[in-house]
Amino acid sequence: MKRARIPQILLPALLASAAVWAAPAADQRAGAAQAAVSGVYTVTFDVSLGSIAAAGGTVACRARIAPNLPAFENLNRGAVPVESAPRVVAAAGSRPAGSPILCSVEIPFAWTVSDPSSGVALSYEIVAVSGSGVAAARTRQGIAVAYPEPGGTASLRLDVTF
């Protein structure tokens, strides 16, 4: 008879302990104050092409930002990454040989996050195109950048060498 009571007591005890462990985690999520963040990132790339610069070639640049949060929190918050429109500039022409090519993009954003101090993760892609097709590409992901003042603009300048 005593053995028959053990499963009857064990199940409620396990459920109670699970509820006790889950309650603090739920309280932390519910208690986290949400903050609205918005503004614009202006990203300027100083692109040095070196020997791959060709007459009539172009450079295309694009950047993307997302809240710099742990992956599971990004999924839970539903903050959608924002990507700039692609920008294309001439790679050769009136520029002196060896001078960098400037390619700038703007990324407006607006999100609600629980920790504005974590900033954003910036990723970019730069593609050099010559007459025969893609000559080279450079990408980078996860560059930590602070948020600008609310509604303000943050200007970033990045050197990219091919």
Closest CA to 128 of 49, 72, 33: 49
Q: Which residues fall within 8 angstroms of residue 162, CB to CB, at 6 or more apart?
A: 47, 48, 49, 50, 52, 128, 135, 136, 138
Q: What confidence score (pLDDT) does residue 148 get?
A: 94
Concatenate the DSSP letters of all residues of 59-81 into one string: EEEEEEEEE---HHHHHHHTPPP
Say how many Å lie between the first and final Cα of the chain, rounded: 79
**Statement to judge: residues 39 and 88 lie in one domain:** yes
Q: What angle do CA 107, 112, 117 make, to 5 degrees?
A: 80
Cβ–Cβ < 8 Å for 124, 44: no
**Statement to judge: residues 37 and 7 lie in one domain:** no
**Statement to judge: residues 95 and 139 lie in one domain:** yes
Q: How many domains does the chain have?
A: 2
**Statement to judge: residues 135 and 69 lie in one domain:** yes
**Statement to judge: residues 23 and 75 lie in one domain:** no
Element (H, E) at 120: strand 120-130
**Statement to judge: residues 23 and 41 lie in one domain:** no
**Statement to judge: residues 82 and 18 lie in one domain:** no
pLDDT truncated to tens, each residue of the chain (162 aa)? Answer: 455 554 455 444 444 444 444 434 443 445 567 889 999 999 999 998 877 666 668 899 999 999 987 666 555 555 678 999 999 998 765 566 667 889 999 999 998 888 889 999 999 999 988 777 788 899 999 999 999 998 999 999 999 998
DSSP state of 56: T
Q: What angle do CA 55, 61, 62 make, to 5 degrees?
A: 165
**Statement to judge: residues 16 and 75 lie in one domain:** no
Range of the domain at 14: 1-31
Concatenate the DSSP letters of all residues of 125-140 into one string: EEEEEETTEEEEEEEE
> Is the pTM for the entire model greater than 0.95?
no
| C-alpha radius of gyration, the chain, whole number | 25
**Statement to judge: residues 66 and 85 lie in one domain:** yes
